[in-house]
Amino acid sequence: MESPITVWQAIAALLAFAAGAAVVAWSFRAGALALAPHAVARVLRTAPLTASFGLVVILAYVVVALLAPVLAPFGEREVVGGEYLPWDEVHLLGTDNLGRDMLSRLIYGARNTVGIAFATTTVAFVVGSVLGLLAATVGGWLDQVLSRAVDVLMAIPALIFALLLLTILGTSIPNMILVIALIDSTRVFRLARAVAMNVVVMDYIEAARLRGEGLGRLILREILPNASAPLVAEFGLRFCFVFLAISALSFLGLGIQPPTADWGSMVRDNATLITFGDITPLLPAGAIALLTVAVNFVVDWMLHRASGLKE
């Protein structure tokens, strides 16, 4: 089997991609500054090119995920040819081990992998941040019970724990979301509690207690606004970890199950092509890496803005 492209062509493509990424990031920022409202433009004006590139990539992934049935040339599960067909005019990225179009599977994988990762991160973030803020605000036995339970869960390696729970509960998508959300909510709990502990000792919190503010109002109106910056940044970082965890579980066969398109399982199913010098299995891995880097670019910018540092 011949490789669709040579190694040197791949290197040249990477260099061209880097140059194109800089142009796209600059063009996006220029266009956003011209079209966005004044308040948004003022924020975007401080964004470096890396953050602009990250925003472009995230926006592109969202568009592809939402418009997957329109953009994909074939169906997600449709067998359209022979096994491992090379790249051509009909199948731009060839076919997989069952004869399904790789480009279509890659597009649908954006909807499945990214969508499930976002849902899992949201559940983990809500549970972890609520319990963390509650533990720091109430303190006492509640803080001790929650903190020790989190310590026990964090002592178990995350991937091994996820594999164990999914083996027991089954590998359905709801089970996977709940298991990964449970594991990652412990990390969110630790951060939310640590940030809130620095806020609850402030004088204005004591004044709010003396005014008779209820627990919910104290958390929502006094503590949460002053702890939001690191929590928002943590959401982006946690999304990357969840995204990589789902891809790793799918690669190991306990994540998103076939025939649903998923980038992790696509790497596993087509890994044999690498022995023939074909880079097709690296495309879903590259899609995973690109989104992870893009999210980290945006998170770094948000942390820089929240810290109040100047260039």
Query: What mean pLDDT comes out for the span 147-158?
Result: 88
Is pLDDT of 24 > 60?
Answer: yes
Contact in structure between 190 and 129 (CB atoms under 8 Å): no
Q: What are phi and psi of 127, to 5 degrees?
A: -65, -50
DSSP string across 29-82: HHHHHHHS-HHHHHHHTT--HHHHHHHHHHHHHHHHHHTHHHH-SS-SS-B-SS
The token pair at 272 is: 């044999």
Enter the CATH code of domain 7-307: 1.10.3720.10
What does the pLDDT read at residue 228? 79
Alpha carbon distances (Å) from 153 to 159, 188, 244, 245: 12, 13, 20, 17
Cite the DSSP H helix spans in 92-114. 102-109
What's the rounded Cα separation, in Å, for the pair 189 and 204? 23
pLDDT in tens, 271-294: 888 777 778 888 888 888 888 888
What's the rounded Cα separation, in Å, for the pair 307 and 302? 9
pTM: 0.80
DSSP string across 127-176: HHHHHHHHHHHH-HHHHHHHHHHHHHHHTS-HHHHHHHHHHHH-S-HHHH
pLDDT in tens, 166-186: 888 887 888 888 999 999 999
What's the rounded Cα separation, in Å, for the pair 94 and 121? 33
Note the residue count of the chain: 311
Facing residues of 95 across strands?
101
Query: What mean pLDDT comes out for the span 220-234?
Result: 81
Residues 6+ away with beta carbon under 8 Å from 240: 292, 295, 296
What does the pLDDT read at residue 3? 46
What's the rounded Cα separation, in Å, for the pair 242 and 239? 5
Contact in structure between 276 and 1 (CB atoms under 8 Å): yes
Q: Which residues of 109-130 are buried (b: 16+ CB within 10 A; e: fewer)?
A: bbbbbbebbbebbbbbbebbbb
Q: How confident is the model at residue 1 (pLDDT cuts 50, 70, 90)?
A: very low
Query: What mean pLDDT comes out for the span 57-73?
Result: 87
Amino acid (one-letter) located at 114: V
Q: What percent of the chain has pLDDT over 70?
A: 84
pLDDT in tens, 195-216: 888 888 788 777 877 777 777 7
Amino acid (one-letter) located at 66: L
Facing residues of 101 across strands?
95
Other Cβ atoms less than 10 A from the Cβ of 45: the count is: 11
